[in-house]
Structure 1
Amino acid sequence: MNKAQLIQAVADKRGDSLTPAEAVETVLDVMVRAVVAGDRLSVTGFGSFTPENRPARRARNPMTSEAMTVAASRVVKFRAGARFKDLVSGRAHMPESGNCIQKAPKTPRP
């Protein structure tokens, strides 16, 4: 699921008349349902959520040093987008207003 599909899913679920709280809750609900269903959710500039299966494995209890088996599990992984990483690390400057996730417009070459 990409950003456009996420927008369409929210619009299909709730229509156009949403309060801000309903809008946020609906977006989060659609995101969680997509990842639980096994879909990769990708929002350009923000990041992607991917479900992943982890196999069973052997581990060591740090308290007792005793070997133990960790059961197989299913987890969600988040990978931040390039713009998000740049803003957090300081490689890009946070804009005073507007959408901080969108890339700055390219300046035309002379």
Structure 2
Amino acid sequence: MNKSELIKTLSDQNGISIEEATTVVNIFVDSMKNALASGDRVEIRGFGSFKLKDYGGYTGRNPKTGEIVKVKPKQLPFFRAGKELKEYLNE
């Protein structure tokens, strides 16, 4: 499911317009992004949690040219599925 499919489903199941559903989804996604960007953890009970993980820099290699390159340290989002979601998927 992509974002537009989520908006359509939200609109259909709740009898709201596509514009209203788009606003709701955008507010939800933007709130999650802002929380993660400020270093907070985002937890949706029964679904899972998102947090940022720090990855240190390292020396890598360009697979096409073989050139040695320095990879900068970075933060990447990490998702951990909640217990209820795991149980639901493994019924």
TM-score range for the pair, normalised by the shorter chain length: 0.5 to 0.7
Name the structure with the higher strand share: 2
- Tell me which amino acid in the other structure corresponds to 2:69: M
Pair member with larger Rg: 1
1:54 partnered with 2:55: yes
Report SS of the residue matched to 1:74: strand
1:87 partnered with 2:88: yes
- Tell me which amino acid in the other structure corresponds to 1:55: G
Q: 1:86 to 1:60 in 2, by over 3 A?
A: farther
| Deviation, structure 1 residue 66 | 4.0
CA RMSD of aligned residues (A): 1.8
Percent sequence identity is 32
Superimposed CA distance per residue, residues 40-76 of structure 1 (whole angstroms, 9 cap, x where no aligned partner): 1111111111012211112233334443321111211
Question: Which residue in the other structure is 1:43 paired with?
Answer: 44
Paired residues, what number? 72
1:27 partnered with 2:28: yes
Question: Which residue in the other structure is 1:76 paired with?
Answer: 77
> How far, CA to CA, are the matches of 1:29 and 1:81 in structure 2?
21
Question: Which residue in the other structure is 1:67 paired with?
Answer: 68
Taking structure 2 as the reference length, what is the TM-score of the superposition?
0.64
Taking structure 1 as the reference length, what is the TM-score of the superposition?
0.55
Unmatched segments (≥5 aa) in structure 2: 1-19
